[in-house]
Chains A and B, each alone.
Chain A
Amino acid sequence: MGCLVMLLELRDVAYRYVDGAVALERISMTVETGDRLAILGANGSGKSTLLRILNGLIFPTSGVALFRGQELSERALSAPDLKHEFRRTVGFVFQNADAQLFNATVEEEIAFGPGQLGLSRAETHERTHDVMRFLGIEHLSERPPFRLSGGEKRKVAIASVLSMNPEVLIFDEPFLGLDPRSQAWLVRTITQLQSAGKTTIVATHTLDTLPKIADRALVLSEAHQVVSAGPLSPILADENLLRSANLVE
């Protein structure tokens, strides 16, 4: 095998639910540092499941998921060292912001991650406020996260991940439910993060904003398999491919 160790790698991964329903089939992919990757697929094609595997929240039914060459399994991630390294390296913004927020106030929500990294209270406080300032949500700091508007929730969810300063940022349908101005803001924010050297993986089925935030894409079919992978522009130009994956009418 090659001597290059990938940041994240899936080898022939399949995932089945407890009742036997297939969510993913024969998925192989790699993520390198600095990648700007898009994962495309219609509703129910398995994007969220794939991202959950890449974030070590669920584990493949068959095949392996690797992080810097080490297998991501339930057992491996229970070892404190790997868990710590993995969680501080890979951040995940959930599709449902409501589901992601579990703390009592916005400030606690954002401070949770830095607290996990073992930063001092002063550093945690500084980071929390830096992130809130960066995203323009300082006025929300004392509010309970689940009583915010949809757009505000999304910002808090992103802030709660950014405060951990992960190298890889995974976004699950980040544009869903955002108004046009918030969408434009999110595109700017993602490009800012990319120019700071972050690796990004964005799952989506809205294609118009894609060229600004991705240069490589992986297309999932409705049969939960990879039908195409490679540079973004040829994929976006291939009408037949997009139609077969149910991404255009």
Chain B
Amino acid sequence: MHIPDAYLSPATEAVAFVVMAPIWMVAVRKTSHSLSSRQTPLLSVGAAFCFAVQMFNIPAIGGTSAHALGATLLAILVGPWAALMGISLELAIQALLFGDGGILSLGANCFDMGFVAVFVGYGLYRLLVGSRSGSGMRSIVAAGVAAYVGTVSASFSAGLLLGIQPAIAHDQAGHALYCPFGLSVAIPAMVITHMLVAGPAEAIITVAALAYLRRTYPELIADHAKPHLGTGLRLARGLAWVLVLTPLGLIANGSAWGEWELTELRRMVGYAPAGIMQAKPIIRPLLPDYGFAGSTGGFLVGLGYLVSAFIGCALVAGFTRTLLHRRTVEPMEQSSPGAPGGSLPDWMVLPNPPCTVSSSHGGPWLERALLRMREKVASSIASETVARQAGLLQSVQPTAKTVGFLILLLSVAVSRSFLVLVLLALAILVSSAASRVPIADFVQRVGATTAFFGLIVAVPVAFQTVSPGSTIWSVFGITVSVGGVHSAALILLRLACGIGLAILWNLTTPWRRLIRSFHSLGVPNLVLTTATLTYRYLFVTVETLADMVEARTSRQAGGLSKREARLYAGTGSAVLFSKSLAFSEELHLAMQSRSFDSFPKSEPSRRLSGVDFVFLLAAIAALAISYGVSGHVA
């Protein structure tokens, strides 16, 4: 659900920041009152946990990607405002350090995955639990339902932001400049994948983690009642809320958006983008998995969403049962604690009996995603060595660098000219070399990230069906158009420049200096302390997760059945959270014993000097050229 910089127009990004600014301010004020010092590590662990959860994503064709968020869980544990802050920090770290999601689109991403997910999820949870918070089972099911709805709502919001881009930003020929897919593609792509995959995953994670935390860390949860499986009826009643709440709203919206898009848009904006007109009937069959995609009637579309929601709920219900239904353990005679019983059991002397091998599911995908992430984290650590070398960008004063890089990112975002973007890309390469960044690694990293985010959107754009224009070549009915190739190349180039800038910024700036620059730009201390803790826990969490996967591999003789895989995903995330928490408590004590209460007040930044002014002027010049050449002025 992370929207990269190149997919939103600067206007949308600016509006998102304007909307988020007061929300963030309230969040900081609320949390500085309510967060005791012991809760700060909890919040940071929660944010790091969300990071780990979000790294398991699948691409949503026509949208961005689908993954669980961890938002409702965090909101239940630390309260909605603190959760909003934690997720915003985690998204900021992802954007600044890993190039996941954009820096300028941070406001939009925080709105979707922070504000919408947290407040819809938490609000619904409070609504469902009501005053009867004493019932353990009820509140856990309510949390699962709320997490599901919260995630789907966030994906709807993201789909909305992406889907309005073709209408508000395009060139004279009607070619999209940012996200090329209209509402009819972006919303189903996001919402349905989240209804079927990410929503259930979110619910499973939330339910599993809460049920487990109640047993292992009862002090964390105000309601001490032990969870036990109620009747199936109660479960069904809780889940029925999903069916009532989500799809009914979407039926109403579904048809309304559909109409809006072609006729209303034309009326409101003055014209309908050619791309959307062409794309609407043809792109749908490209998405055969999305149930009722081919149908145009509002009712059938609504029915499609309803069926998706139903399947999603069934998955959640099935899992909740397997998780909460624990066989009762019969009491056994106990040996005295710690005394070994002595003799080896008979079966241990004999070889294992032969048995059949169960079929395999899931496994490798999880491991691959994890290895990718571990590499990213490792390269992020490695980047500190580059940041400490002497070099061009390393010598720029941190605050000037932060301002300069933000201006440069803006100039990439507003640019509509190939030439300007190519020049910017060259400038990025030259300054990387001057900053002694290993160029081959840098180019490879930028290329890989661009491909991961970009190809899924850019390749369809090249086709005639999405972008009309004169044909370049045509094979098997697939036609590539001139305008399409132009749009696709522009989107990819802008994406690469944005990611390149973010990575270069990260590579040449140690974390401490980055934090200091934000401090001098007025970001409150509490936010930066929490961000620093989150940054530390991030490595711990990813390493813990990698350890868990390795430990399981070592003992996994057979494959996982589907049921076992679900159970593993659920309890695994719960155990991961608890383990990180246990570790964070120790870490926090260790920090306290070295008298840590907020991030160290570092020596004041040096005054601005010549190199800083040159850097800032260059950035401003880039913005002016990019803005001027792109025809905004005329």
Partner among B339, B340, B544, B558 whose Cβ is within 8 Å of the Cβ of A117: B558
**Residue contact B555 to A112, C-beta cutoff 8 Å:** yes
**Residue contact B554 to A118, C-beta cutoff 8 Å:** no
Instruction: Please give me the residue from chain A that is nearest to B570 by CB atom.
Output: A104
**Residue contact A197 to B555, C-beta cutoff 8 Å:** no
Cα distance A113–B216 in the bound complex, in angstroms: 23
- Is the C-beta of A88 less than 8 angstroms from some C-beta in chain B? yes
Cα distance A81–B356 in the bound complex, in angstroms: 9
**Residue contact B337 to A139, C-beta cutoff 8 Å:** yes
- Is the C-beta of A116 less than 8 angstroms from some C-beta in chain B? yes
- Is the C-beta of A147 less than 8 angstroms from some C-beta in chain B? yes
Known contacts A134-B345, A165-B352; decide if A118 and B558 are in contact (CB<8 Å): yes
Instruction: Please give me the residue from chain B that is nearest to A80 by CB atom.
Output: B357
- Is the C-beta of B575 less than 8 angstroms from some C-beta in chain A? yes
**Residue contact B558 to A127, C-beta cutoff 8 Å:** no
With most chain A CB atoms within 10 A of its CB, the pick from B332, B338, B359, B364 is: B338
Please, which residues of chain A bring their CB within 8 A of the CB of B345?
127, 130-131, 133-134
- Is the C-beta of A196 less than 8 angstroms from some C-beta in chain B? yes
With most chain A CB atoms within 10 A of its CB, the pick from B329, B548, B554 is: B554
Shortest CB-to-CB span from A121 to chain B, Å, is: 9
**Residue contact A94 to B216, C-beta cutoff 8 Å:** no
Instruction: Scan residues 529-579 of chain B and give those whose CB is less than 8 A from a CB of chain A.
Output: 544, 547-548, 550-559, 571-572, 574-575, 578-579
Please, which residues of chain A bring their CB within 8 A of the CB of B360?
80
Please, which residues of chain A bring their CB within 8 A of the CB of B359?
80
**Residue contact A134 to B340, C-beta cutoff 8 Å:** yes
**Residue contact B378 to A18, C-beta cutoff 8 Å:** yes
With most chain A CB atoms within 10 A of its CB, the pick from B216, B329, B350, B575 is: B575
Please, which residues of chain A bring their CB within 8 A of the CB of B575?
102-104, 144, 146
Shortest CB-to-CB span from B57 to chain A, Å, is: 22
- Is the C-beta of A129 less than 8 angstroms from some C-beta in chain B? yes
- Is the C-beta of B478 less than 8 angstroms from some C-beta in chain A? no
Known contacts A104-B574, A118-B356, A165-B352; decide if A133 and B551 are in contact (CB<8 Å): no
Instruction: Please give me the residue from chain B that is nearest to A81 by CB atom.
Output: B357
Please, which residues of chain A bring their CB within 8 A of the CB of B544?
99
**Residue contact A100 to B551, C-beta cutoff 8 Å:** yes
How extensive is the interface on chain B, given as a class? 35 or more
Shortest CB-to-CB span from B248 to chain A, Å, is: 37
Known contacts A130-B345, A139-B337, A196-B344; decide if A146 and B332 are in contact (CB<8 Å): no
**Residue contact B344 to A193, C-beta cutoff 8 Å:** yes
Cα distance A216–B553 in the bound complex, in angstroms: 29
Please, which residues of chain B bring their CB within 8 A of the CB of A197?
349
Please, which residues of chain B bring their CB within 8 A of the CB of A239?
none
**Residue contact A119 to B355, C-beta cutoff 8 Å:** yes
**Residue contact B555 to A160, C-beta cutoff 8 Å:** yes
**Residue contact A57 to B352, C-beta cutoff 8 Å:** no
Cα distance A83–B359 in the bound complex, in angstroms: 12
Known contacts A18-B378, A118-B355, A192-B344; decide if A80 and B555 are in contact (CB<8 Å): no
- Is the C-beta of B375 less than 8 angstroms from some C-beta in chain A? yes
Instruction: Scan residues 62-82 of chain A and give those whose CB is less than 8 A from a CB of chain B.
Output: 78, 80-81
Known contacts A83-B557, A146-B582, A164-B557; decide if A189 and B340 are in contact (CB<8 Å): yes
**Residue contact B344 to A133, C-beta cutoff 8 Å:** no
**Residue contact A136 to B553, C-beta cutoff 8 Å:** no
Please, which residues of chain A bring their CB within 8 A of the CB of B350?
165
Shortest CB-to-CB span from A82 to chain B, Å, is: 10
Shortest CB-to-CB span from B272 to chain A, Å, is: 50
Cα distance A55–B340 in the bound complex, in angstroms: 28
**Residue contact A129 to B357, C-beta cutoff 8 Å:** no
**Residue contact A117 to B352, C-beta cutoff 8 Å:** yes
Instruction: Please give me the residue from chain A that is nearest to B350 by CB atom.
Output: A165
Please, which residues of chain B bring their CB within 8 A of the CB of A160?
555
Instruction: Please give me the residue from chain B that is nearest to A85 by CB atom.
Output: B557
Partner among B343, B559, B578 whose Cβ is within 8 Å of the Cβ of A80: B559
Residues of A within 8 A of B (CB): 18-19, 55, 57, 78, 80-81, 83-84, 87-88, 91-92, 94, 96, 98-104, 107-108, 112-113, 116-119, 127, 129-131, 133-139, 141-142, 144, 146-147, 160-162, 164-165, 167, 185, 188-189, 192-193, 196-197
Residue pairs across A and B with Cβ atoms less than 8 A apart, 29 shown, are A80-B357, A87-B554, A88-B352, A94-B551, A98-B579, A99-B551, A101-B551, A102-B551, A104-B215, A112-B555, A113-B555, A116-B555, A116-B558, A119-B355, A130-B345, A130-B347, A133-B335, A135-B340, A141-B329, A142-B329, A144-B216, A146-B578, A146-B582, A161-B555, A164-B555, A164-B557, A165-B347, A165-B348, A167-B351
Contacts A136-B337, A144-B216 given; 20 further ones with Cβ under 8 A? Answer: A57-B550, A88-B352, A91-B554, A99-B550, A100-B554, A102-B572, A103-B571, A108-B571, A117-B352, A134-B343, A134-B344, A134-B348, A136-B340, A138-B334, A139-B334, A139-B337, A147-B582, A164-B352, A196-B348, A196-B349
